Amino acid sequence: MLDNYSKSKIVLITGASGVIGNSIVNLLSEDNNLKLLITGQNEVKLKYLKSELNNVLAYLAGDLIDYKFREKLISSFSEEFGGLDILINNAGIYTWSSIDNLQAEQIDKTLDLNLKAPIHLCHLISQGLKKKKWGRIINIGSISGSVGEANASLYSASKAGLIGLTKSLALELAEYGITINSISPGWVKSPLSESVFGDENNPLNEKDEIDCVPQKRWIEPSEIAHLVKFLISEPACGLTGQVINLCAGLSLG
Amino acid sequence: MSKNLFNKIWDSHKIASLNSGQDQIFIDLHLIHEVTSPQAFGMLRALGLKIAYPQRTFATVDHIIPTSTLKRPYQDSLAEAMIVAIKENCEEFNIKYFSPEEGSQGIVHVIGPEKGLTQPGTTIVCGDSHTSTHGAFGAIAFGIGTSQVRDVLATQSLALGRLKVRRININGKLAAGVYSKDVILHIIRVLGVKGGMGFAYEYGGSVIDAMSMEERMTICNMSIEGGARVGYINPDQITFDYLQGREYAPAGEKWNEAVTKWKSLASEADAEYDDIVNIQAESISPTLTWGINPGQAMSIGEKIPTLEQIKEEDQGTFEEALEYMKLEAEKPMVGLKINVAFIGSCTNGRLSDLEEVAKYVKGFKVSSNVKALIVPGSMQVKREAESKGLNKIFEEAGFEWREAGCSMCLAMNPDKLQADEICASSSNRNFKGRQGSPQGRTILMSPVMVAAAAIKGEVTDARQLFKI
């Protein structure tokens, strides 16, 4: 039987101060073999998570849109904790806008955070993982990236990009014992989704949207956390390059 | 077999059974503080929602507020911004706020009981894991996350799964110099830090029956450290005597009605439990932690255990703990030099904790190598302690006397350990880095044991130093 981790692993979770990130941090912190480093924009929330949860070693608040912050994040954590083993690219923003109304700034911001940051973070840790001959990368995408979503072309494009990253990197790093997978949630109960329904320009309401979901419900953040926990485990070593739709059936059409 | 208190309260607060298998439970009292509430208010605003029952939510500031000075603006601009934000949120949503402006702030788990808000038979939540403290009054009280804070604000209810109930009997008589903190550290040591997962702990037996409300709060406070989100004690005459006359407690005719109702809620002798554990009081000595979780604990007279001596489930973190703490197996903790002594927190920052410490430190001096803090749990505790002259006793002995707040329990404020300093602490968590430095080391113990360590400059048996 494959033991879950022969030695403790250093995990970096981005977007840790958001609802999904928070849920991932909470669940993973229960495993004493995982030592967590967290980043996000809400410094107080990160500070609180660190003081409340066991196994959260450090936090660094900042904006992943800034590539200098990404470099600082990886170099300072690597220096202090001896390199990462697991990266969870969770930070992201949702942009709801018709193609007509998109602003150039929005395009840059969405692609910077949702796509360029994960690519850059993978770049910054890839050599370290190769040396260890072990690694796990999880990208939190969205089913919009594979099935499309009207009035969210920018967001969908950024999440589709993550699928390309996941599959290509999985091929490139397979021989080093590194796996890369993507989780594509459907509608998750989080401020990100609620901001969409709260938008007065949005014709959708929560009830109509849930009616479209085969299981007639939201995805809970903790469901994503449990899947992350499995995908980064030792027994999941043969699973790589996969995009898993965690969507209560929504992606089935 | 009759229903225990937990199930009586649960059933009387159930609004609906949900398809998920959970129940929708009405929440009587919601306490909020500056750290876990701002996002919840933000979400409410984004959704255009109002607070369902603003009179059932009470706010204060404790986590990030400095305790060294009340001068505004605070040096930490983030702290200043958060304390401005909670004031504005409370004004906008019409929530009662125990504020620094009116000098009524304090640790949320100290304020609830002292104002008489915490009452038997109620459901109480707060965005803080030590909410189990309020269970001392025979309430179901537990910590919640920020999105649940939002849900309670918007609906005054939560979707929850029912817990199993473990009765923990502590019978016999505690020896002199053994405190409620030792009892709960001993329970966690015996049952493990995950032993209570899925359970509510009901504490009882002759030792609990004889305890004051403040001692009971210390016990319930640390339930979560043993994995139990909820810990409670059945209400009795000691509970009623504590509550009578407090600001928010029922008064006049309503008082008698309330007491009758509260009495009917207590678990009867034939109540049904999912598990029962018996602990003999005589087996408990002054207890302190040697590791990096509250279950890694020992009696003051014992030596640090070896790998073989601890339970298999705890062996995984054994070496990590010793390496981090820079300690060795089979060595005593007595004689270990400390750098910092901290008395305070929602576990042990109440008036009776301070009175007990004052009783013994009179005439002693804090070691010149130790920085020692005493931080009252609330401004009310501070004022009461000062009216009894306790602050003078502390200051003469060399302790710093502070304003109210969480202070060094969690170091979200300026009180932090430096480098690998060792802190004898009356708080509740000894996780790596909990007290602010990534290498900082925490040893949990009772306030009197902390005071003894501060005076000797090293871990010591308070019973010998103070001739208890």
pLDDT per residue over B296-305, tens digit each?
Answer: 999 999 999 9
Q: Are residues B168 and B250 in the same domain?
A: yes
So what's the pLDDT on residue A209?
74
DSSP result, B150-165: HHHHHHSEEEEPPPEE
Q: Are residues B305 and B261 in the same domain?
A: no
Q: Which residues of A are less than 8 Å from B198 in CB distance? A: none
- Inter-chain contact A57–B431, Cβ cutoff 8 Å? no
Residue of A nearest to B440 (CA): A57
Degrees (nearest 5) of the Cα angle A114, A118, A122? Answer: 170
> A188: pLDDT confidence band, cut at 50, 70 and 90?
confident
Examine the residue annotation and report whether A176 is marked as an active-site residue of this protein: no
Q: Are residues B298 and B447 in the same domain?
A: yes
Rounded Cα distance, B467 and B448, in Å: 12
Q: Are residues B68 and B32 in the same domain?
A: yes
Burial B395-433 (b: 16+ CB within 10 A, else e): eebbbebbbbbbbbbbbbbbbbbeeebbbbbbbbbbbbb
Of the candidates A33, A42, A51, the beta carbon closest to that of B434 is on A51
Q: What token pair was written down for B290?
A: 């040697």
Say how many domains are in chain B. 3
- Inter-chain contact A191–B39, Cβ cutoff 8 Å? yes
A201, pLDDT greater than 70:
no
> The tokens 């009035």 sit on which residue?
A151
Report the complex ipTM. 0.72
A197, pLDDT greater than 90:
no
Q: Considering only CA atoms, which of A140, A42, A36, A24 is closest in space to residue A91?
A: A140
Kindly state the average pLDDT of the residues A126-149: 96
B67, pLDDT greater than 70:
yes
Q: Give the gap in angstroms from C-alpha B40 to the nearest C-alpha of chain A.
A: 10
> A1: pLDDT confidence band, cut at 50, 70 and 90?
very low
Q: Which of these three, B221, B252, B283, is where a domain ends? A: B283
B335, pLDDT greater than 60:
yes
Non-local (6+) Cβ contacts of B303 within 8 A are B329, B330, B331, B332
Catalytic residue among A48, A59, A67, A155: A155
So what's the pLDDT on residue A44?
87
More confident residue, A1 or B155: B155
- Inter-chain contact A47–B146, Cβ cutoff 8 Å? no
- Inter-chain contact B46–A52, Cβ cutoff 8 Å? no
Q: What is the mean pLDDT of chain B?
A: 96
- Inter-chain contact B82–A44, Cβ cutoff 8 Å? yes
Helices (H), B76-199: 77-93, 108-114, 146-155, 180-191
> A191: pLDDT confidence band, cut at 50, 70 and 90?
low
Q: Are residues B255 and B332 in the same domain?
A: no
Rounded Cα distance, B442 and B422, in Å: 6
Q: Are residues B343 and B396 in the same domain?
A: yes
Q: Considering only CA atoms, which of A91, A95, A115 is closest in space to residue A104?
A: A95
So what's the pLDDT on residue A3?
62
Rounded Cα distance, B160 and A167, in Å: 39
Q: Which residues of A are less than 8 Å from B83 in CB distance? A: none
What are the angstrom distances between the C-alpha of A9 and each of A2, A20, A49, B328? 16, 21, 19, 24
Of the candidates A43, A52, A53, the beta carbon closest to that of B78 is on A43
What is the number of other CB atoms lying within 10 angstroms of the CB of residue B106?
A: 29
Q: For residue range B128-144, list pLDDT tens digits in order.
A: 999 999 999 999 999 99
Kindly state the average pLDDT of the residues B386-411: 97
We report the CATH number of the domain holding residue B363 as 3.30.499.10
Q: Are residues B66 and B87 in the same domain?
A: yes
Q: Are residues B47 and B80 in the same domain?
A: yes
Q: Are residues B74 and B105 in the same domain?
A: yes
Rounded Cα distance, A33 and A24, in Å: 15
Residue of A nearest to B428 (CA): A52
Q: Are residues B156 and B254 in the same domain?
A: no
**HSE-up (13 A, CA, CB side) for residue A72:** 12
CB B449 within 8 A of CB B300: yes
- Inter-chain contact A44–B35, Cβ cutoff 8 Å? yes
Q: Domain containing B366: what range?
A: 289-465
Residue of B nearest to A54 (CA): B431
Q: Domains for chain A: give ranges and CATH numbers.
A: 9-244 (3.40.50.720)
So what's the pLDDT on residue A206?
67
Q: Which of these three, B144, B160, B176, is where a domain ends? A: B160
> A243: pLDDT confidence band, cut at 50, 70 and 90?
very high
Q: Are residues B294 and B269 in the same domain?
A: no
Q: Are residues B73 and B172 in the same domain?
A: no
- Inter-chain contact B78–A44, Cβ cutoff 8 Å? yes
> A192: pLDDT confidence band, cut at 50, 70 and 90?
low
Q: Which residues of A are less than 8 Å from B345 in CB distance? A: none
So what's the pLDDT on residue A205?
64
Kindly state the average pLDDT of the residues A101-109: 96
Phi, psi of A248, rounded to the nearest 5 degrees: 55, 30
What are the angstrom distances between the C-alpha of B162 and each of A238, B150, B234? 38, 21, 19
Sign of CA dihedral B142, B148, B153, B157: negative
B458, pLDDT greater than 80:
yes
Neighbouring-strand partners of residue B24? B16, B159
Rounded Cα distance, B44 and B38, in Å: 10
Q: Calculate what percentage of chain B has a pLDDT beyond 90.
A: 91
A·B CB contacts under 8 A: 62
Q: Calculate what percentage of chain A has a pLDDT beyond 90.
A: 75
- Inter-chain contact B431–A54, Cβ cutoff 8 Å? yes
Q: Which of these three, B160, B180, B214, is where a domain ends? A: B160
Rounded Cα distance, B142 and B135, in Å: 8
We report the CATH number of the domain holding residue B169 as 3.40.1060.10
Kindly state the average pLDDT of the residues A67-96: 95
So what's the pLDDT on residue A193?
55
Strands B297-299 and B287-289: antiparallel
So what's the pLDDT on residue A2?
53
Q: What is the mean pLDDT of chain A?
A: 91
Interface of A with B (CB under 8 A): 8, 19, 22, 26, 32-33, 42-45, 47-48, 50-55, 57-58, 80, 189-191, 194-195, 197-198, 221
**HSE-up (13 A, CA, CB side) for residue A148:** 2
DSSP result, B254-316: HHHHHHHHHHHHSPPTTB--SEEEEEEGGG---EEE-SSSTTSEEETTSBPPPGGGS-GGGGG
> The tokens 């004051």 sit on which residue?
B212
